[in-house]
Structures are given as structure tokens and as C-alpha cells.
Structure 1
Amino acid sequence: MQHKQLFLALSLSTLLLAGCSTTHYISVTPQAEVQAANLTNERVINVSTSTQLNSAIGSIKTGINERADIFTTNDIKLSVKESVLKGLRELGFTPDQGLMPAADLQIDISKMSYTTKVETLKTVATLEFELKVTLAAKGQTYKANYGSQKVREYGTMPYQQAIQDDMNALASQTVNRLLSDPNILTLLK
């Protein structure tokens, strides 16, 4: 009986010292939050998205040796495109109606990351989301970068839902920057 208790205590200690490892799967779906407006477009607005990123966003390592890898479960290209189209419609645009040639709005999701570093026993997480945009309309080409960054501090491993909420807030903030750029809006009118 004593050997069982000793074995159990040693096993538990080993688990605590080794830390725990897990995987967080999140869905990144930015939400466009713009003021409804009466903007109109003369030309069709063609929105396309691309990325060289894969589903791995990053990983977490805490001060108490907990570990987690973070992956997206959805197609980020599709979710950004849907969010931008929804925002354009709320602004009053009708992207699928108008004259040709279309205004071409190309969006490259260039960064989506979650990195951590340990400072003493706290974990400092840096979240980043970045879009590179090229708009060709009215015989002009406009290029812009929109990025957002957020820093969070944790004592222990954050919950999967908290990571998802933080990444979605950051992605939404970035999409909203694109949708509120006066140069974009002027060229789309």
C-alpha cells in the first residue's frame, strides 16, 4: 500500500514538473463594425483575399511550464472576405452591382500570430494581425497596410475561448481600419 502511495506521489510530481501540453483550436472570424452610411458605387467591387499563412498561429509557454499550440479551424481568407463584404454593404455599397471593369480590392492576410515570452512567473503574450491591401479603381492604384497588436499577461494557461476572443477582437479591429480608410472609400465610390 505504501508503495502505491509513493508511486502515485512521484507520478503526480513528475506530471507537475513536466508541465502539461495541449492544443487550442480557434475560429478567427472578424466582425465588421462600421456606421451605416449611404455610400454608393458605380463599378462592381471585386474583393479577393489571399495568404501564405497556414493554420498554425503560434504557441504558448507559461512560467509554470504549461504549453499549448494554437491553430485556426476555419478558412481565414473566406472569413476576412465575408467580413469586408458585409462592412461594405453596411456602408451602402452594392459590391456585386455596377459597371465593368470592376474596382479590384485585393487583401493579403500577411500576419496572424500569437507569441509568448516568460517574465519571472508571468507569461506575456503578443498577438498580431496584419492585412496588406491593394485597390485598383478609377485608373488608380492605392496600397496600404493595416495592422493591430495586443499584449496580454497571464499567470497560468489562458483558456481556448479567451485566446479566440482576443484574436477575433484584433482581426475585427484590423478589418475596421481598412473599412474606415477614407482613401479606400473615395476610390470605391
Structure 2
Amino acid sequence: MFKVRLLLPLSFATVLLAGCTTTHYIQIEPTASVKEAHLQNDRAIKVTTSTQLGNHIGAIKTGLNERADIFTTNDVKESVNKSIINGLTQLGFTPDQGVYPPAELNVVITKMSYTTQAKSIKTTATLNFQLTATVNAKGQTYKANFGSQKVEQYGTLPYQSAVQNDMNELASKTVNRLLNDQNIIALLKK
């Protein structure tokens, strides 16, 4: 009986010292939030989205030796593309209607990361989401980079839902920056 009582606290202490390893599976689904407008397009608008990034976007390692790898579970290219098309529609554009050849909006997801640095028991996380957009319309080409960064601090491992919310907030801000670029709007509208 005495051995069992002594073994239990030692086992618990070993688990605490070893830390916790887990995996966070998140979905990146940015939401376009632009002021509705009554813009019109005479050319159809073809939106394409691509990336060379994989589905592993980073890892969390806390000062308490907790660890979580972060992976996306959805097609981020598709969700960003859908968000941009929804945003263009909110602005009044009808991307699937108009004269051909279409105006082209090519978007590349260039950075999507979640990195941490632990000092004592405080962990600092740096989140990044970046896009490059190229518009070919009206015989002109316009290229711009859009990015958002967020820095978070915490003591223990954040929940999967918190990581997902933070990354979606960042992706949404970046998409909205693209949709509010007046040079892009000018090339797409009538």
C-alpha cells in the first residue's frame, strides 16, 4: 500500500516535468468584411489563388515544456479564393459576368506561420499571414504585397480553438487589406 501511495505522486511529477505534446488541427477560413459599394465591372474577373506552403504552419513550445504542432486541415487556397470573391461581390462586382478575356487577379499565399519563443514561464507567439496579389486588367499590371502580424503572450498551451481564431483573424485582416487596395479596385471596375 505504501508503495502505491509513493508511486502515484512520483508518476504525476514525472508527467508534469515531461510536459505535454499534442497537435492542433485548424481550419483557415478568412472572412471578407468590406464596406458595401455599388462598383461594377465590364470584364469578368478571374480570381486564382495558389501557394507553395504545406499544411504545417508552426509549433508552440511553452516555458512549461508543453508542445503542439499546428496543421491546417482544409484547402487554404480555396478558402482564401472564396473569401476574395465574396469580398468583390460585397463591393458590387459580379466576377462571373462580363466581357472576356477576363481581368485576372492572381493571389499567392506567401506566408502562414505560427512561431513561439519561451522565456521562463512566459511564451511569446508571433503569427504571420501574407499574400501577394497581381492584377492584369485594362492592359496594365499591378502587383502588391499584403500582410498581417499578431503577437500573443501566454503561460500555458493555448487551446486549438484559440489558435484557429487568431489565425483566422489574421487571414481576414490580410484579405481585407487586399480588397481595400484602391489600385486593385480601379483596375477591376468599369
* Structure 1 residues 10-40: Cα deviation after superposition (integer angstroms, max 9, x where no partner): 2111111000000111111000000110000
SS of 2:65 mapped into structure 1: coil
CA distance in 2, matches of 1:156, 1:179: 36
2:161 partner SS: helix
Within a 5 Å distance, the mapping from 1:122-133 to structure 2 comes to: 122-133=122-133
- Structure 2 unpaired stretches of 5+: none
Deviations 1:146-171 (A, max 9, x none): 00000000011111111111000000
Deviations 1:76-95 (A, max 9, x none): 00000000000000000000
Q: Secondary structure at the match of 2:170?
A: helix
Matched, 1:7 2:10: no
Q: Give distance in 1, aligned partners of 2:8 and 2:120.
A: 30
For residue 174 of structure 1, what is the aligned residue in structure 2?
174
- Counterpart of 2:160 in structure 1 is 160
RMSD: 0.6
C-alpha distance after superposition, 1:81-110 (max 9, x if no partner): 000000000000000000011101000001
Q: Percent identity over the alignment? A: 63
Cα displacement (A) at 1:66 = 0.5
Aligned residue type for 1:48:
T
Structure 2 CA distance for aligned equivalents of residues 43 and 6 of structure 1? 76
Alpha-carbon distance in 1 for matches of 2:129, 2:2: 54
Query: Which amino acid letter does the alignment assign opposite residue 43 of structure 1?
Result: R
Cα shift readout 1:103-142 (whole Å, capped 9, x = no counterpart): 0100000100000001221000000000011110000010
Q: Which 10-residue stretch deviates more, 27-36 or 4-13? A: 4-13
User: Which structure 1 residue ranges, 5 or more long, are not aligned?
Assistant: none
Structure-2 separation of matches of 1:69 and 1:6: 34
Distance 1:47 1:99 in 2: 15
Look up the match of 1:22: 22
SS in 2 for 1:183: helix
Q: What is aligned with 2:74? A: 74
Matched, 1:98 2:101: no
Partner of 1:85: 85
TM-score normalised according to structure 2 size: 0.98
Secondary structure at the counterpart of residue 28 of structure 1: coil
Q: Distance in 2 between matches of 1:120 and 1:100?
A: 60
User: What is residue 116 of structure 1 aligned with on the other side?
Assistant: 116
Does 2:34 align with 1:42?
A: no
AA paired with 2:187?
Answer: L
4+ residue segments displaced more than 2 Å: none
Aligned partner of 1:144 in structure 2 is 144
Note the C-alpha offset of 1:7: 1.8
Which residue of structure 2 aligns with residue 63 of structure 1?
63
Residue type of the partner of 2:69? D
Aligned position for 1:33: 33
For normalisation by structure 1, the TM-score amounts to: 0.99
